[in-house]
Copies of this chain bind each other. A is one copy, B any other.
Amino acid sequence: VATTTSDIRTASRFEVLRGVYAAGSTTRQALAAAGPLSFATVSNVVAELLDAGVLVETAYEASAGGRPRARLGVNAGRGRLAGVAVSETHVRVEVFDLALQQVSSDQRPLRLAEVGAEELVAAITAGVTTAIAGSPAERSEAPGAGRDGAHESGVLGAGVSLPGYVWSRSGAVPLFDGMGAAGGGALGGRLARELGLPMVTDNPLKAAALAELWFGAGLGARTLVTVTLGTGAGAGVALRGALLRGATDSAGEWGHTTLVLDGEHCRCGARGCVEAYVGAPAILRRWGRPAADELTGMAELAAAVRAADPVAQSIVQEIGRYLGAGLANLVNIFNPDIVVLGGWVMDQLGEWLLPAARATAAARALARPFAATTIQRSLISAHRTCLGMAAFALENFLRDAGVPSSRSTPIPVRH
């Protein structure tokens, strides 16, 4: 969480951009008034973003006694960004315009624990290529737009989320070392070559946190916790806009914290982990009906709850109770302003899980931090991880377009 001159430039740029995204259309004056930056800083940053073609002046409005004020907006057509979420069961690609509106997508099955690096790279490359081909800008481009296209309305970069761990039968296998927004190891380099795009990789929990921070309920939160419920369970944390990463970029593994000492076996090798109770396989084991795959099984459980099936109803209550105890732990540890839950299990079961979880958390968390916390479902309509990875790709593009300072002087901030 240190700052350097270049970090401050970068942070100011994101601050402005977030302000424009949040407002849709705004002015330099409004950005300065609403945010922490001075008018001079806002003006400098806006000038850079206009130069880079990321922002455009869309109109002028009269100002009392002064010069007309320019309205600013994101130049949606400046280029596209691909956000890729590799989960344990499939590869999902969403392509966004620069306003971070989804323009096309692709989804293909992939059993992550069963494939090698070859197949993984091939699946991601195929998904990205297909999704890009299906996006409007590409379809309307003349054949051979080639490099010019890449500069005008082409794809500015891709962000690929990969789980920090792949869970094989033999336990937790780290997929990457030193993964992070900047890197991705050997596999990341290979992907970048195959895709022929500037690329970043990161962990899906971090992507979810970034998506909420930029476009979701976390906008403006000082202490934001995001929870993602799918095959696995995990948390992302942002403190005053900076993601919590930890020593080796694996912070947020809430899914593998013990909730029930000596409880259910977890695929990580330990017992009683949160994920062993609220992860999709645990939920479906409780439900006990065979299904073609997890997604189908979960949809069937949701349908049964909706049809007032008492077994299904009691299952979502039980799962909600485990979830609530796990959320109470996050509330007590982080004392967050807001906890935002997403992921495909929340999409399916959230309307029942959330009230049950909230009631349990209310009973178990300390009263004061619980009262200070809003617990809610994600309001993001796009795939949250894909959106977050596209935002990482945008950060990367802007960083490349910037002028980094040559001397890095991190300064620890106030206590």
Chain A contact residues, CB within 8 Å of chain B: 1-3, 7-8, 10-12, 14-15, 36-38, 41, 164-165, 172, 174, 181, 206, 210, 222-223, 235, 239-254, 256-261, 263, 268, 270, 322, 325-326, 328-329, 332-337, 363-369, 372-373, 392, 395, 407-415
Tell me which of B245, B258, B395, B411 contacts A12 (CB under 8 A).
B411
Which B residues are CB-close (under 8 A) to A242?
Answer: 1, 412-415
The reply to whether B261 and A333 form a contact with Cβ atoms under 8 Å apart is no
The reply to whether A248 and B335 form a contact with Cβ atoms under 8 Å apart is yes
Report the separation of the CA atoms of residues A307 and B164 in the bound assembly, to the nearest whole angstrom. 46
The reply to whether A332 and B253 form a contact with Cβ atoms under 8 Å apart is yes
Report the separation of the CA atoms of residues A165 and B333 in the bound assembly, to the nearest whole angstrom. 15
* Extra pairs beyond A36-B412, A258-B259 (15, CB < 8 Å): A1-B240, A11-B411, A12-B411, A14-B415, A36-B411, A181-B415, A241-B415, A242-B413, A245-B335, A246-B334, A246-B335, A247-B337, A259-B261, A261-B325, A333-B333
The reply to whether A246 and B411 form a contact with Cβ atoms under 8 Å apart is no
Tell me which of B223, B241, B325 contacts A246 (CB under 8 A).
B223
Report the separation of the CA atoms of residues A412 and B222 in the bound assembly, to the nearest whole angstrom. 10
Report the separation of the CA atoms of residues A305 and B10 in the bound assembly, to the nearest whole angstrom. 56
* Distance between A391 CB and nearest chain B CB, rounded to angstroms: 9
Report the separation of the CA atoms of residues A37 and B2 in the bound assembly, to the nearest whole angstrom. 12
Which B residues are CB-close (under 8 A) to A172?
Answer: 366-368
Report the separation of the CA atoms of residues A407 and B409 in the bound assembly, to the nearest whole angstrom. 23
Report the separation of the CA atoms of residues A325 and B373 in the bound assembly, to the nearest whole angstrom. 26
The reply to whether B328 and A174 form a contact with Cβ atoms under 8 Å apart is no
Report the separation of the CA atoms of residues A413 and B336 in the bound assembly, to the nearest whole angstrom. 18
Which B residues are CB-close (under 8 A) to A368?
Answer: 164-165, 172, 174, 248, 250
Report the separation of the CA atoms of residues A357 and B139 in the bound assembly, to the nearest whole angstrom. 60
Which B residues are CB-close (under 8 A) to A164?
Answer: 368
* Distance between A249 CB and nearest chain B CB, rounded to angstroms: 7
Which of A14, A335, A373 has the most CB atoms of chain B within a 10 A radius of its CB? Answer: A335
